[in-house]
Amino acid sequence: SQNNHRRDGAGMKILGLDSSGLVASVAVVEDDTLLSEYTVNHKKTHSQTLLPMLDEIVRMIELDLNEVDAIAVAAGPGSFTGLRIGSATAKGLGLALDKPLIAVPTVDALAYNLYETHGVICPLMDARRNQVYTGIYEFADGKFQVISAQEAISIEEIIEKINQIGREVIFLGDGVPVFREKIEADCKVSHHYAPAHVNRQRAGAVAALGTLYYKEGKVQNARDHQPEYLRLSQAERERLQREKKNCEEKK
């Protein structure tokens, strides 16, 4: 059934999940309509919130999950724990319902919140250690365009890129409050900050962008899905440092 997905888009339902950052969000999009969205931006473990949120949406809109065509999930980058929870939830649902998964890059979905913005869009997710998960995007002729693909770089590097492009920019994401002083000091182009309702991860954006991917056939079997971390976790970094130290001691 995973290969028989409709691409005409009529009555197409996409379930969206995003637990990549501080936000936990679940949404259902049918064609160009957001049927429901449940988003919480609160310090709670997503493992305890994501499925209950989905259950609530299913109950409220009387949704039969078997009617969903595919499950779109924010596939990274982001918090390692958050991504693992989102990935495990999406995989579990995909396998149980026999539905394909749509892996949506987290930073792209964040940028997709700002449809038809003039100038360029620059999401900033705080990645700690003075780094951000970021990218640069625009809407040209109504189409979503990636100018610079998502990556993990320093705040200085992304501001330098923005200055080189030399166009008006809108910043959004949980990195904005962290690095706002830096932006104000170093960003040389006209810049703005997205307002509260569109400046964090939203499963509605994941599902909407996922709908475009789905029509293009960009789907995967639930078993094959892996999050895109973009960099090593702290545990992996510490392990590599230990191994390097051990090697040097043996020399």
CA 85 to each of CA 78, 155, 156, 206, 223: distance values in angstroms, whole numbers, following the listed order: 11, 27, 31, 16, 15
DSSP state of 21: S
Closest Cα to residue 201, out of 54, 97, 79?
A: 79
Question: Does pLDDT of 51 surpass 60?
Answer: yes
Asked if 187 contacts 162 with a C-beta cutoff of 8 angstroms, the reply is yes
Query: DSSP of 191-230, one letter per residue?
Result: EEE--GGGSS--HHHHHHHHHHHHHTT--B-GGG-----S
pLDDT digits (tens, 9 = 90+) for 218-240: 999 999 999 999 876 666 667 77
Asked if 199 contacts 173 with a C-beta cutoff of 8 angstroms, the reply is yes
- Coil, strand, or helix at residue 19? coil
Residue 18: enclosing H or E segment and its boundaries?
Answer: strand 13-18
Q: Please report the sign of the dihedral spanned by the C-alpha atoms of residue 127, residue 112, residue 148, residue 72.
A: positive
Percent of the chain with pLDDT over 90: 81
Q: How many angstroms from the chain centroid is the CA of residue 50? A: 15
Please give the mean pLDDT across all residues of the chain.
Answer: 92
pLDDT digits (tens, 9 = 90+) for 127-149: 998 999 999 999 999 899 999 99
Q: Are strands 120-126 and 33-41 parallel, antiparallel or unpaired?
A: unpaired
Q: Where are the alpha helices (DSSP H) in the chain?
A: 46-60, 80-97, 106-112, 155-165, 175-186, 203-215, 234-250
Q: What is the pTM of this model?
A: 0.89
